Amino acid sequence: MAECSDSPAQGRGRMVAPLVVGAATFMQAFDSSAIIVALPAMARDFGVPVLSLNLVVVAYLVAATAALPACGWAADRFGARRIFLIAVTGFGLTSLAAMLAPGFGWLIAARIVQGCMGALLLPVGRIIVLRSVPRQDYVSALAMLSLPIMLGPLLGPTLGGLVVTAGSWRWLFAINIMVSIVGLLAVRHFVEDAPGDDPRPLDLIGLALIAAALVGISSGITAFNPNGPASALPALLLVGGIVCALGYGWHGRRHPQPLLDLRILRVPVMAAANLGGLFQRMLVGAAPFLLTMLFQPGLGLNAATSGALIFASAFGAILGRWFLPPLIARFGFRTFLIGNSLVMALSMAVCALIDADTPYAVIVIILFLQGLIRAVQLMGLLTLSYAGLPHKDMGSASTLASISQQFAIAPGIALSVAALQLMQHWRGATTLSPAIIAPAFLLVAVVSLLSLIWYWRLPRDVGRELSESRVQAQLSTASEGDA
């Protein structure tokens, strides 16, 4: 990594680069949370079943995840600032395409390209910040970077619901366009490029296998529809995705510089954080989708009210990060992860009890606690994933963590859709009601408990080298959007 120069321009960039880059990445975090509450309105406009609108979210997430492994290589090969400018411009242009979408297929195509652009924003933005500040300022710089990113999920449901209720879901993409224009001008004016390392050759075969695996597995789950005509397509996609994943495992072991080094999964903490954590991140992805289906089609609330209720969960998640250090100091990582996994599943299962007679105050309390519990679990996994790893493995660990965080959300939503479709098929219903949605909350809660298989295998003293102060410091540098 190149050292920072002491030029006046660089000094100016050091002061404002984290906030400028953070503001640009804000739109991705805002988009991901705001678009959920707009799904029922989109379904009405396009005249399609509301459950099919999961593709608006899943297509974006799968494309973003598939593009992640190449982010670091692209930043080194073409320059981080140039790639970031391309990403901001592309995100704005695809937002324009989505806003003007005349049909459902056009919207999905725009979201796929938008996902590829959005994937570049945070990792490349983080590279720009780290190359723009001295090492001693890393913690404060990344904390400044994380602030706008945290505000996205906080403002997304509420502002998104208000925009959809007062106007149209298309206005959400107009917000992206305005933010991208401001971000583009700010990056060009304030952010200097810094040379990176010489890029290693891009493993194109590995990239193709990873992308095919992610697309196949997610598409296979999403394509399952018991209410539609019988088709072998879901099984073929799922099997194809699994075969590609196994193919990459074989390829990665033999490649001298694999795009993603899966050997680090032999380390227990990495396996727990990424394989075990995957099932809990599925819950994180499913929760806002199921809550939107419950509040709008299920209970008949408008998007503004739905977004305001979901805001309680986002607010709890923001506050939850401050509870982790004392909890780890008191119980240790292993005991904390096991115990909080049970509480996290319970907080999801309780949502199955929400119906038309449940007071709003009770719903707000449930969702606030769910967000807080979710945040401490995810931040604990994020912190643990780097415990005890040698410095040479940090790059692979960071890439793998980013992929597992992003990818798990799509299967979580797809699993929710499959559960809802099964309940509709079983009951012979064509609409969504609390009785149909409740079992989906329970299913996702149970699936999240599969994480315990990995957590139980952790050594009792795992992460002991991380003191409370070091955990707090790592939280200051962490930016996990789903937390």
Do 120 and 147 sit in the same domain of this protein? yes
Average model confidence (pLDDT) for the chain?
83
At 47 the pLDDT is 92
328 shares a domain with 302? yes
Q: Which of 335, 332, 364 is nearest to 351 (CA)?
A: 364
CATH of the domain at 72: 1.20.1250.20
pLDDT band at 467 (very low <50, low <70, confident <90, very high): very low
User: Quick one: pLDDT at residue 194?
Assistant: 61
Statement to judge: residues 148 and 54 lie in one domain: yes
Q: Give how many domains the chain has, as a whole number.
A: 3
The answer to whether residues 1 and 135 belong to one domain is yes
Q: What is the pLDDT of residues 104-128, one digit of tens each?
A: 999 999 999 999 999 888 888 877 7
181 in the same domain as 250: no
Of 258, 285, 301, the domain-final residue: 258
Q: Are residues 171 and 208 in the same domain?
A: no
Segment 39-91, tens digit of pLDDT:
999 999 999 999 989 889 989 988 888 888 888 788 878 888 889 999 999 99
Q: Whole-angstrom Cα distance, residue 397 to residue 258? A: 13
Residue numbers of the domain that contains 252: 203-258
End of a domain among 184, 200, 216? 200
221 and 368 in a single domain? The answer is no
Backbone angles phi, psi at 406, to 5 degrees: -80, -45
Q: Among positive and negative, which fits the CA dihedral 385, 391, 393, 399?
A: positive
* Stronger pLDDT, 457 or 28, i.e. the higher one: 457
Q: What pLDDT was estimated at residue 388?
A: 60
Q: Are residues 282 and 426 in the same domain?
A: yes
Same domain, 210 and 188: no
Burial classification of residue 329, based on how many CB atoms lie within 10 Å of its CB (0-12 exposed, 13-18 middle, 19 or more buried): middle
Last residue of a domain, one of 211, 237, 258: 258
How many Å apart are CA 454 and CA 451, to the nearest integer?
Answer: 6
What is the reported pLDDT for 114?
Answer: 95
Are 34 and 163 contained in the same domain? yes
More confident residue, 404 or 432: 432
Residue tagged 């098929």 (tokens)? 425
- Clarify whether residues 356 and 402 are in a common domain: yes
Kindly state the helix (H) or strand (E) to which residue 253 belongs, with its residue range: helix 233-254
Burial of 259 (0-12, 13-18, 19+ CB in 10 A): buried
26 and 13 in a common domain: yes
